[in-house]
Amino acid sequence: MIKDKLIGVDLGGTTIKFAILTQEGEIQQKWSIKTNIFDDGSHIVPDIVDSINHHLDMYQLDRERVIGIGMGTPGTVNRTAGTVTGAFNLNWKTEQTVKADIEAGTGLTLTLENDANSAALGEAWKGAGNNDDEVSFITLGTGVGGGLVANGRLIHGTAGAGGEVGHVVVEPNGYLCTCGNKGCLEQYASATGVVHLAQDFAEEYVGSSQLKQLIANGDEVTSKIVFDLAKEGDFLANEVVNKVAYYLGYAVAAMSNMLNPSAVVIGGGVAAAGEFLRARVENQWEAFAFPTVRTSTRVKLAELGNDAGVIGAASLARI
């Protein structure tokens, strides 16, 4: 029987997404289940196994046709051992033998990767990267992560910390980061970073602004609210967005000058602000990008949304 199907799994702290794809990366079936993080996350792997087995049966897909499973996961992946550590949002407190357990439960081979790298592979393959061999990806969410593809392969580095673009320092002696350093991009361009900047800017701003009003009232302010107010013309909110775009443009230019990818793809929740943010980032980026880079690298928005993870994960099974 010809092997012609890929399974992609995107493990997250609230849901686990699954998809069955063709070798060309077209999604044929997709579904998701809630992530059960109770009992130290001990239900997660069995739930994944059951869900895959159940759906293969339901779709009457002979597992002989499945090339393999690829999976993106939070935490630090030991790709050789097939284990995961430090996935705190899954309540995994010890090293998890993910690969061995899922392979034993499904009878299929599994390739593991961290979630940001999986999303990067997805966008590189079927999204804004247009299947190019040189694609950099940056995701702006609760944190800021990255995945760098050069010569068609992910850059893992010597200890798996390749692509830590969220921890490139953009403001020496700036905001203290959870990593212990100061001024990391993550502290300015993540959802919480945007709000932090808004709070600081509001304190010094004396003009009238709806954003300032919200903050002064102690109302909950999210990065989405900041971007929405900026789009509506709020002056202070625009100052905040411009500062976020400055830091992003600066960091994206550093990535571009080192890797000269055909595209730097910006994804994640904060990037939902869309062209409004992208255009401003590109504008700042132009001042920091080397001339050859400025004419050959593009700053783009991610195109796959929530599917990037499962598609990228599936691509791992091809190799």
Q: How far is the CB of 268 from a second copy (least distance, A)?
A: 18
Which residue lies nearer to a second copy by CB, 199 or 292?
A: 292
| Paired tokens of 73 | 């996961």
Does 128 bind a second copy (CB under 8 A)? Our answer is no
Pairing status of strand 135-140 against strand 110-114? unpaired
Within 10 angstroms of residue 169's Cβ, the number of other Cβ atoms is 16
Of 42, 89, 97, 257, the one binding a second copy (CB under 8 A) is: 257
Tokens 């994640």, residue located:
268
Q: Name the amino acid, one letter, at 92.
A: W
Does 156 bind a second copy (CB under 8 A)? Our answer is yes
Q: Identify the burial level of 291 via C-beta atoms within 10 angstroms of its C-beta, where 0-12 means exposed, 13-18 middle and 19 or more buried.
A: exposed
Does 63 bind a second copy (CB under 8 A)? Our answer is no
Closest CA to 197 of 237, 251, 141: 237
Does 297 bind a second copy (CB under 8 A)? Our answer is yes
Within 10 angstroms of residue 61's Cβ, the number of other Cβ atoms is 16
Q: How far is the CB of 108 from a second copy (least distance, A)?
A: 26
Does 175 bind a second copy (CB under 8 A)? Our answer is no
Q: Do the beta carbons of residue 262 and residue 135 sit within 8 Å?
A: yes
Of 100, 169, 224, 269, the one binding a second copy (CB under 8 A) is: 169
Q: How far is the CB of 105 from a second copy (least distance, A)?
A: 31
Q: Do the beta carbons of residue 118 and residue 154 sit within 8 Å?
A: no
Residue 226 CB contacts under 8 Å (≥ 6 apart), including other chains? 194, 195, 198, 211, 237, 240, 241
- Backbone φ and ψ of 67, nearest 5°: -65, -40
Which residue lies nearer to a second copy by CB, 29 or 262?
A: 262
Does 150 bind a second copy (CB under 8 A)? Our answer is yes
Site mask, a second copy, residues 180-209, x = CB under 8 A? Answer: xxx---------------------------
Determine the 3-state secondary structure of 182 from DSSP.
Answer: strand
Which residue lies nearer to a second copy by CB, 68 or 163?
A: 163
The region of 41-49, 94-102, 188-196, 291-299 touching a second copy under the rule CB under 8 A is 291-299
The region of 17-25, 121-129, 164-172, 189-197 touching a second copy under the rule CB under 8 A is 164-172
Q: Do the beta carbons of residue 238 and residue 226 sit within 8 Å?
A: no
Does 151 bind a second copy (CB under 8 A)? Our answer is yes
The Cα angle at residue 142 between residues 137 and 143, in degrees rounded to 5: 50
Does 172 bind a second copy (CB under 8 A)? Our answer is yes
Does 296 bind a second copy (CB under 8 A)? Our answer is yes
Footprint of a second copy on this chain (CB under 8 A)? Answer: 132, 134, 146, 148, 150-151, 153, 155-165, 167-169, 172, 179-182, 250, 253-255, 257-262, 287-293, 295-297
